[in-house]
């Protein structure tokens, strides 16, 4: 029995005039497209690694990747005897079918595209979406990947991201944080404010402008409460916050200003008799 | 201290010590400044160690490309121009260079740094902050801490304008060194709140040596287009 490869390629698959050969070419072209897309996007990423911010680089890489794949798909389509001119007519119907069949997928896709172009978040940003807080690891076509501050991987569908309230903690250049510092009533509040301001002024990233503000905010049950408002670069504010508070505490203590413990003065209407004390005194007299 | 070194060397200026020492055949770069030390083993056959002043926007952490100098307020007549001198902070860069490549090893400074915001928190930029007096002539500077900036200011606006600060993009910065560290810059006032600033690639004194910029060393492409100050001049 002779084996002829050409004949095998010409065997119809049962759908229109499509042969195994057509199907094979279709798959080969598509595979080549995917491989070329991969190679090109890897090289684009490598070339742009030091020239573009990560977010723009990833967006451009993805656009090139999907662009090449779609291009390969369009080139491969005639192998399936698919008339591209009919695509316009069929597009509407197919669109409807796809729309109903994959509503959430399309919704996520469209939301993903909007996210990429609207830029409410970028890769590396610290964000809060719904009940997820963390840094953005990747913005994909269908989903956004967030690494929580505990290092946990969370995949959020783009539709959820797009329709939720997004808090981006580093979108602006600078942000403000505050401390509550309690001092004893007998301590000099003016001196405490001056010392706190001096410590803040020595920190490189506690911004000179907007100027920090330290003031007596309220008179508490156990302490005079000072509030300090400090502006810091949005991407470094946490480092500044964790660094400064200890330094302020140390500086206050070095100057004899203490942060008081909760205390309560109790008054007894009939005085307070301590039995043990009298017994002790009697013992001494004897 | 500034210059190019091959093999072992040792330079000590006040509190700053920079040396490359060969220990058991391994060349070790070592720096001590303000009680902080830094050490790296250099594996090199043909490389040179380059020590020169670099753009002052890297310490304690590289967070911005902008430098803001605040100075005594000047009120400038429409159409007037004047050259004055300011002081600016410097950082010392240590780089290793061979025929094929250049790399940053260390950046340090004996002074502390301060940063500020130019513009609003929403649209502004974080800048390195420095205060300077306005000098009519080249002032004396503390070596390794500050440099002299020849600063030409021109009021191209139709009204009197008050200026007390200038913001530069450090990617444009051209630093020269000789007896002291120097840079040349210009500012063109466009409106009461806007001005263009840029650096001029020219030595302040003949014979000064041009520094290797960190942007060159880090191979970050930058277009010298100056900076447009949009959020006020004082």
Q: What is the pLDDT of residues B162-218, one digit of tens each?
A: 999 999 998 889 999 999 999 999 999 999 999 999 999 999 999 999 999 887 666
**What's the token pair of residue A252?**
């206050």
Higher-confidence residue: B198 or B35? B198
The 10s digit of each residue's pLDDT in A9-52 is 777 777 777 788 888 888 999 899 999 998 888 888 887 776 66
Residues in Cβ contact with A186 at an 8 Å cutoff, skipping those fewer than 6 apart: none
CA distances to A20, A28, A82, A267 from A9, in Å: 5, 14, 18, 103
Residue A130 clears pLDDT 90, i.e. is over it: no
Mean pLDDT of A91-109: 71
- Those of residues 54-83 in B touching chain A at CB distance below 8 A are 59-61, 63-64
CA distances to A119, B41, B56 from B105, in Å: 35, 10, 16
- Sheet containing A153-157: which strands, arranged edge to edge? A153-157, A143-148, A132-139, A126-129, A166-168
Classify A189 in phi/psi space as left (phi over 0), alpha (psi -120 to 50) or beta.
Answer: alpha
The pLDDT score that the predictor gives to residue A64 is 87
Q: Is B170 helix (H, G, I), strand (E, B) or coil?
A: helix
Residues in Cβ contact with A222 at an 8 Å cutoff, skipping those fewer than 6 apart: A182, A260, A261, A262, A263
Interface residue B129 vs chain A (CB under 8 A): yes
Q: Count of residues for chain A? A: 286
The pLDDT score that the predictor gives to residue B230 is 93
Mean pLDDT of A150-155: 94
Inter-chain touch A174–B221, beta carbons under 8 Å: no
DSSP string computed for A125-186: -EEEETTEEEEEEEE-SSEEEEEETTS-EEEEEHHHHHHSPEEETTSSSEEEEEEEEEE-TT
- Count the alpha carbons within 13 Å of B204 in the hemisphere toward its beta carbon: 26
Among A173, A198, A203, pick the best mutation site for testing chain B contact (most B Cβ within 10 A). A173
Inter-chain touch B122–A173, beta carbons under 8 Å: yes
The pLDDT score that the predictor gives to residue A279 is 53
Phi, psi of B41 (to 5 degrees): -85, 130
Interface residue B116 vs chain A (CB under 8 A): yes
Residue B150 clears pLDDT 70, i.e. is over it: yes
Phi, psi of B134 (to 5 degrees): -95, 125
Contact A260, A184 (CB under 8 A): yes
The pLDDT score that the predictor gives to residue A221 is 86
Inter-chain touch B121–A172, beta carbons under 8 Å: yes
Closest by Cβ to B122, choosing from A172, A210, A231: A172
The DSSP letter of residue A19 is B
**What's the token pair of residue A178?**
């505050």
Residues of chain A in contact with residue B121, where contact means CB-CB under 8 angstroms, are 172-176, 210, 231
The 10s digit of each residue's pLDDT in B41-80 is 988 888 889 999 999 999 899 999 999 999 999 999 999 9
pLDDT band at residue A285 under the 50/70/90 scheme: low
Mean pLDDT of A147-164: 92
**What's the token pair of residue B149?**
């900036």
Among A245, A239, A242, A173, residue whose Cα is nearest residue A209: A173
Interface residue B223 vs chain A (CB under 8 A): no
Among A171, A174, A198, A201, pick the best mutation site for testing chain B contact (most B Cβ within 10 A). A174
Report strand pairing: B16-23 vs B9-13.
Answer: antiparallel
Residues of chain B in contact with residue A174, where contact means CB-CB under 8 angstroms, are 117, 121, 124, 126
Residue B12 clears pLDDT 80, i.e. is over it: yes
Rounded to 10°, the helix A85-101/A103-118 angle is 100
CA distances to A102, B82, B137 from B73, in Å: 64, 14, 17
Residues of chain A in contact with residue B221, where contact means CB-CB under 8 angstroms, are 51
Q: Which single residue is written with the structure tokens 């197919």?
A: A94
A vs B: CB pairs below 8 A: 53
- What is the ipTM, given to two decimal places? 0.90
**What's the token pair of residue A118?**
């609207």
Inter-chain touch A173–B117, beta carbons under 8 Å: yes
Residues of chain A in contact with residue B123, where contact means CB-CB under 8 angstroms, are 173
In the predicted model, what is the mean pLDDT of chain B?
91
Inter-chain touch A204–B121, beta carbons under 8 Å: no
Chain B's closest residue to A175, CA to CA, is B121
Mean pLDDT of A139-147: 87
In the predicted model, what is the mean pLDDT of chain A?
84
Mean pLDDT of A136-151: 90
């Amino acid at each position: 029995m002779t084996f002829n490869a050409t004949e095998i390629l010409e065997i119809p698959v049962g759908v229109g005039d499509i042969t195994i050969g057509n199907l094979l070419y279709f798959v080969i072209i598509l595979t080549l497209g995917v491989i070329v897309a991969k190679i090109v996007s890897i090289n684009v990423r490598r070339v742009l690694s030091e020239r573009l911010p990560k977010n723009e680089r990833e967006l451009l890489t993805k656009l090139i990747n999907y662009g090449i794949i779609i291009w390969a798909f369009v080139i491969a389509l005639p192998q399936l005897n698919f008339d591209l001119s009919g695509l316009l007519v069929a597009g509407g119907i197919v669109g409807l079918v796809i729309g109903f069949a994959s509503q959430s997928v399309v919704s996520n896709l469209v939301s993903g595209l909007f996210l990429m172009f609207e830029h409410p978040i970028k890769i590396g940003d610290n964000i809060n979406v719904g009940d997820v807080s963390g840094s953005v690891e990747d913005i994909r076509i269908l989903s956004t990947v967030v690494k929580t501050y505990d290092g946990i991987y969370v995949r959020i569908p783009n539709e959820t991201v797009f329709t939720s309230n997004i808090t981006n903690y580093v979108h602006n250049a600078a942000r403000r944080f505050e401390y509550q510092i309690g001092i004893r009533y007998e301590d000099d509040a003016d001196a405490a404010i001056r010392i706190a301001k001096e410590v803040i002024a020595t920190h490189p990233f506690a911004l000179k402008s907007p100027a920090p503000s330290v003031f007596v905010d309220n008179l508490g049950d156990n302490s005079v409460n000072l509030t300090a408002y400090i502006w810091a670069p949005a991407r470094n504010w946490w480092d500044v916050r964790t660094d400064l508070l200890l330094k302020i505490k140390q500086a206050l203590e070095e100057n004899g200003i203490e942060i008081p413990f909760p205390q309560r003065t109790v008054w007894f209407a009939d005085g307070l008799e301590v039995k043990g004390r009298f017994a002790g005194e009697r013992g001494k007299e004897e | 201290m500034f210059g190019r070194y091959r093999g072992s060397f040792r330079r000590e200026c006040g509190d700053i010590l920079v040396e490359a020492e060969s220990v058991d055949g391994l060349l070790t770069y070592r720096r001590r400044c303000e009680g902080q030390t830094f050490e790296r083993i250099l594996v090199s056959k043909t490389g040179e160690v380059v020590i020169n002043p670099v753009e002052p926007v890297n310490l304690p952490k590289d967070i911005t490309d902008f430098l803001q100098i605040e100075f005594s307020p000047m009120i400038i007549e429409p159409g007037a121009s004047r050259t004055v001198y300011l002081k600016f902070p410097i950082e010392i860069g240590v780089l290793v260079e061979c025929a094929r490549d250049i790399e940053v090893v260390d950046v340090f400074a004996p002074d502390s740094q301060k940063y500020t915001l130019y513009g609003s928190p929403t649209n502004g930029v974080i800048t390195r902050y420095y205060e300077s007096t306005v000098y009519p002539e080249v002032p004396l500077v503390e070596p390794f801490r500050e440099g002299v900036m020849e600063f030409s200011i021109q009021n191209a606006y139709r009204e009197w304008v008050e200026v007390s600060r200038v913001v530069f993009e450090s990617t444009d910065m051209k630093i020269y060194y000789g007896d002291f560290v120097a840079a040349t810059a210009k500012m063109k006032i466009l409106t009461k709140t806007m001005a263009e600033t840029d650096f001029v690639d020219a030595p302040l004194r003949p014979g000064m040596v041009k520094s290797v910029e960190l942007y060159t060393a880090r191979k970050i492409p930058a277009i010298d287009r100056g900076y447009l100050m949009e959020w006020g001049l004082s």
